[in-house]
Amino acid sequence: MDVRELGIEGAFEFTPPVFKDRRGLFASPYQGEVFAEHLGKPLFQVEQVSHNLSSRGVLRGIHFTATPPGMAKYVYCPYGRLQDYLIDLRVGSPTFGQWVTTQLGADTCRALYIPVGVGHAFLSLTDDSMAVYVMSQGYVPENEFAMNPLDPAIGLSFPADVELIQSDRDLAAPSLAEAQERGMLPDYALCRELDAKL
């Protein structure tokens, strides 16, 4: 398995070998031994696994969880193709406000570990793209926040040939500066402490 540390502390990309034949393919997007070797701990206790399907052009996020309790995620795309974005929302982090992007898809079976306090968004590049989320906490609506993915202060880049489709919630979400003013953003030191305890 190829493992790459991303430009946001604590975020990792895992790309497994993909075995293809005339029947299709087989891959293991999560391998406990490899994960523990690179992060120095096993994956968190899984509290919820969810997935969604998105049409081409659907932009979901930027989403993040109130901290505490905070939430870590392991995300992959078993069908279709996603342009995935991780945004460091941890106030006090050396990479606060910065983002990284990678493509997830059924052909690579690549997965991402998203640590506590890092925001997540993705753009579906094909119809019926599926995102699978393995999560350290169950979904609690009042703990879930959104931030405007089109905020020029963040500066996410999207393919010019894709017409964006967003939920009403994401369209009305605050900018990075507004979220910080409202006290929505997590503290870097607390995020690291919570992530280490998972």
List residues with catalytic annotation: 63, 133
CA angle 52, 54, 55 (to 5 degrees): 165
The letter for the amino acid at 164 is L
Residue 9 CA to residue 130 CA, distance in Å, equals 26
85 three-class SS:
strand
**Residues facing residue 24 across a β-bridge:** 21
Please give the helix or strand (H or E) that residue 53 lies within, else none: strand 48-54
